[in-house]
Amino acid sequence: MDWRVLLVALPDAAVVLDAQSRILEANVPFIDLYPDVRAGQPVNQWLRNPDLFDAIENAIGDGLPQVVVLLHRLPIERRIAARVVRLSEWSAGDLRRGEPCLLVTFRDLTEQDKLAQMREDFIANASHELRTPLASLRGFIETLQGPARDDPVAQDRFLGVMAGQAERMTRLIDDLLSLSRVEMRAHVMPRGTVDLNEVAEYVLETLEPMAESGGAHLSVEASDGPARIRGERDEIVQVLTNFVNNAITYGGRGVQVSVIVTRVETPKGRVPRVRLAVKDNGPGISKEHLPRLTERFYRPSVAASRSKGGTGLGLAIVKHIVARHRGDLDIQSEFGKGSTFSVTFDAVA
């Protein structure tokens, strides 16, 4: 079999060099990565990297695979791992010009680096969020053991605050577990059928007591026809609960919260769609925050979210659930004019 067939089949950018490190053949990902490189050019004409030359020399010499990391600054900063492998059993001196001698593959590490950084940031954020209530609990324990030892009134008050901090830690852990569960199931298609009108009624009923104590008014507008989707009921309930919960929490006293289920017009021949929207006339959110709201732990005001029992994970969980359901999440809001959070899914009969 011709070795060129294998080169084409490789998913990474790859080139085959002869014993004089001239390019014999490159695959399409390589041409995308280094568009200016031409067949027949020796390596040192297009990549002036001494580490790569050494790796090539070594691979030719002892036949062992070599890996070097290349740093490219232009057009954007990238880290690329180049792996040099000698193809031939023969030593380089025995090979004629134009015969394949080395395979060099290039793997872009930028995406991998970005993911590693995101994971690191996430762990740092999660530990910080847990450490804050923990530090406060520690402080109160010390006070109860010391200065407040014989002060029953202060003890009562401190224990109340401590219970609140413990609750906050529980909420955070519940949300972290929820996020990791939905992430794990991201590629498993949901199997059940969910009626969005039924979910809307159900969620409103469960949140009515919270709305009453928060001074919010809730209402539901069901769709004209059926609004069924392929989905996991628990997860759709979680999405809607988060939206309504936020509208009550951030809307302020007297806020009007409407849950609206509608069938969406789609062009003829396309699958009909249904939308679940939660609209409030609360304070709204400034435009600059909107694109980042679904990031884990992102909140326009960390203090406001914390004081209201928020974790900053609600909308990140929503985003994952909606993606798993192949739905579209949309957030419309204007500072001072209220917000509308909506999700749209393909309908099923």
From the list 26-34, 65-73, 80-88, 311-319, the region that binds ligand ADP by CB under 6 A is 311-319
Residue 80 makes CB contacts below 8 A (sequence gap 6+) with: 33, 69, 70, 71, 72, 106, 107, 108, 109
Compare residues 312 and 327 and give the one whose CB is closer to ligand ADP: 312
Give the nearest distance from C-beta 324 to ligand ADP in angstroms.
17
Does residue 246 touch ligand ADP according to CB under 6 A?
Answer: yes
Cβ–Cβ under 8 Å, residues 196 and 223: yes
Q: Which is nearer to ligand ADP, 156 or 208 (CB)?
A: 208
| Choices 79-87, 100-108, 137-145, 246-254; region in contact with ligand ADP by CB under 6 A | 246-254
Beta strands per DSSP E along 193-306:
193-195, 217-221, 228-230, 256-264, 273-280
Return the SS3 of 26: strand
Residue 175: CB minimum distance to ligand ADP, A: 8
Q: Is the dihedral of CA 307, 309, 311, 313 positive or negative?
A: negative
* Furthest C-alpha separation in the chain: 93
- Which of 168, 275, 299, 324 is in the footprint of ligand ADP by CB under 6 A? 299
Query: Cβ of residue 143: shortest distance to ligand ADP, in angstroms?
Result: 28
- Residue 262 binds ligand ADP (CB under 6 A): no
Query: Should residue 231 be labelled a site residue for ligand ADP when binding is judged by CB under 6 A?
Result: no
CB under 6 A: which stretch of 81-89, 92-100, 202-210, 309-317 binds ligand ADP? 309-317
At 234, give phi and psi (nearest 5°).
-55, -40
Q: Binding of ligand ADP at residue 305 (CB under 6 A)?
A: yes
Q: Give 248: exposed, middle or buried? Use CB within 10 Å, 0-12, 13-18, 19+.
A: buried
> In sequence order, what E strands does 130-267 have?
193-195, 217-221, 228-230, 256-264
Residue 239's φ and ψ, nearest 5 degrees, are: -60, -50
Over its C-alpha atoms, the chain yields an Rg (Å, rounded) of: 29
Give yes or no for residue 214 binding ligand ADP (CB under 6 A). no
Check whether the bond before 65 is cis (ω within 30° of 0): no
Asked if residue 261 binds ligand ADP (CB under 6 A), the reply is: no
Q: Is 310 in the site for ligand ADP (CB under 6 A)?
A: yes
Closest CB to ligand ADP among residues 104, 285: 285
Q: For residues 272 and 300, which CB has a smaller minimum distance to ligand ADP in the complex?
A: 300
Residue nearest ligand ADP, Cβ-based: 314
Binding residues for ligand ADP, rule: CB under 6 A, are: 242, 246-247, 250, 280, 282, 285, 293, 299-301, 305, 310-312, 314-315, 339
